[in-house]
A and B are shown apart, each in its own frame.
Chain A
Amino acid sequence: MGTFIIRRVLVAISVALTISIVSFMLLHLSGDLATSIAGPEATAEQVERIRVDYGLDRPIVSQYLDWLGGALTFDFGRSYYYQSTVVDLIVDRMPITLTLGGLALALAVAISIPLGVLAALKRDTWIDRLSLLFAVVGQAMPSFWFGLTLIVIFAVTLQWLPAAGSDGWQHFVLPAIALGYYATPAMMRLTRTGMLEVLESDYIRTARAKGLRGGSVIFKHALRNAVIPVVALAAVELGFMLGGSVVIESVFSLNGLGQLAWDAISRNDYPVVQAVVLIIALFYIVLTLLADVANAALDPRIRTR
């Protein structure tokens, strides 16, 4: 188990480094940053001055190494737009995105696992078909449009919940539904598949043969095994949701990391963009690492792979 964890941590670190290189290079090579920052009306001299002022005239490798050196001590430089360091901006906005992601995940788990279990137990009945329909609809619904529809129905027509802002828990209900529905179909299908497999396995037949009754078999024996891969998927989905929250935050005017990134992108505030991309990737990497380790702890067969 020790070597497994060490190997996984080393891979995670190198993936994080690779992502920092790739995102840095992509941003610096896909357009001229100095021209973008200066804006369409700038003269050639102004562009050159910005290039020198922001250190964009230096070789790209030395720019990257400087940036990485700072990033390792959580110093991502200063924002081009705000009078503030990038770290302060991120620390300021992070709680909102984490709250949104956490609530969305909780909601997705609370819906998908019971629904998946039920669909597996009542296989090929109307409950199974209805849950499948629920999943298929969720996979096809554009999340920004679903968010806007929730606003029109629950905030404008029924006036139950606020449409925008982040002052109290009420502000997170609709965004969490919009974001959580996105993660539900995959988790529900995996729970259903896992339950169907486990229910047909030998040890469940043995448990039933020993005379254990329905509820005990399902919850003590079957669900515990079926849910292992779902936990791993949940961690991955949380990572995806943090990355995808840019859309939902924009729809609901939530002032989180996603909104910060979107503002930074439209204002050519590249230090902020780079830092947010790296932070979101780090979240994903840490979450998948935890899921891998948890999986290996629960299922020793994985460790040797």
Chain B
Amino acid sequence: MTTSHVSPRASSAASSAVFGGEIPLPAPAWSRVTRRVFGHRGLAIGLVLVALAVLIAIFAPLLAPHDPYHQDIANRMVPPVWHDKGSWTHVLGTDKLGRDTLSRLLFGTRISLTIGLVVALISGVIGTTLGVLAGYFGGRVDAVVSYIITTRLAMPVVLVALALASLTGGSLTTVIVLLGLLLWDRFAVVSRSVTQQMRDAEYVYAARTLGCSLPYILLREVLPNIAGSLIVVMTLEMAHAILLEATLSFLGMGVQPPLPSWGLMVAEGKAYMFFQPWVIAIPGIALFVLVLAINLLGDGLRDLNAPGGRN
């Protein structure tokens, strides 16, 4: 391939992308993948914990010892089992309305995971579309998209989301839609820069020469090659969305009672935290562990995706 065949835009970056890059390894065999996954401690821990959370979310009705919405005024604020006055009937105690904390916690996994997954999908579609177009076309398209990203980054997400959630009347659906429309920036930034690196790769150039249509090139040549980076961003955005939902719900503008959102559980326990600190400790720890697990998974995937990526 000589530079005279490459479009003027392509020529400058072509050498680094095609000749300077590493030689791609053949796809690893399945056993090697598993060895790499479990050889990486953070990734293994994250994977197991996230899988556990998914199982809990799916089987919550079977696992929960009580109905998470059932109020039992006679048994309000029962302490957890390790406390002197605790009992095995309510392992993690009950809240101010006598609802079983463990059951609410288990059902709450559904809310957090749904929020994380759907928000990451919505924002992923928006951000990847913008980023791939900007990275592939460059020039004016890139300038416009970069401007949109800059503008979005300057908007205070928490404030804007709070105001809009309050106007539209907070609910699970509004929170998902709002966060999905707000959190696409990292997808756009990453897919833009990764696409830039590969728009002049030989296989993309070959597809162009063969006369493949633009959607074909973008969907079949570019997208599969940036998928690894996108999955990493997706885990980070899932964690981000879960934390933001909890924050909005904590401030009263997110998921509304009686849904067992973990952020809402912390808000409901706030008045009792001085004498019964477990009412905020339990949902807070659940939130922390889930977000930590997703982040570990994401960090681990990044390391697998780009060896040495931790540095």
Query: Measuring CB to CB, which residues of chain A are less than 8 angstroms from any residue of chain B?
Result: 11, 14-16, 18-19, 22-23, 26-27, 30-31, 33, 36, 136-137, 139-145, 148-149, 151-152, 156, 192-193, 196-197, 239, 242-244, 246-247, 250, 258, 261-262, 265-266, 268, 273, 276-277, 280-281, 284-285, 288
Contact = CB atoms under 8 A, between A and B. Distances in A.
B284 A145 contact: yes
A277 B295 CA distance: 30
A148 B284 contact: yes
A245 B73 CA distance: 37
Given A152-B277, A265-B163, A273-B163, A145 B158 contact: no
A33 B166 CA distance: 11
Most buried by A among B158, B163, B291: B163
A216 to B, nearest CB: 24
B295 A136 contact: yes
Given A18-B151, A139-B295, A142-B247, A243 B159 contact: yes
Main secondary structure of the interface of B (DSSP, over half): helix
A268 B250 CA distance: 19
B288 A30 contact: no
A23 B157 CA distance: 11
Interface stretch (B4-12, B74-82, B85-93, B266-274): B266-274
B152 to A, nearest CB: 9
B155 A142 contact: no
Nearest to B274: A156
Contact of A246 (B147, B159, B273, B311): B159
26 contacts: A14-B147, A23-B155, A27-B164, A30-B167, A136-B299, A142-B243, A142-B266, A144-B246, A144-B250, A145-B246, A149-B281, A151-B273, A192-B311, A243-B157, A243-B159, A247-B251, A258-B159, A261-B159, A262-B251, A265-B163, A265-B166, A268-B166, A273-B159, A280-B156, A281-B156, A285-B154
B284 A142 contact: yes
Contact of A15 (B154, B160, B296): B154
Given A139-B295, A145-B266, A36 B167 contact: yes
B168 interface: yes
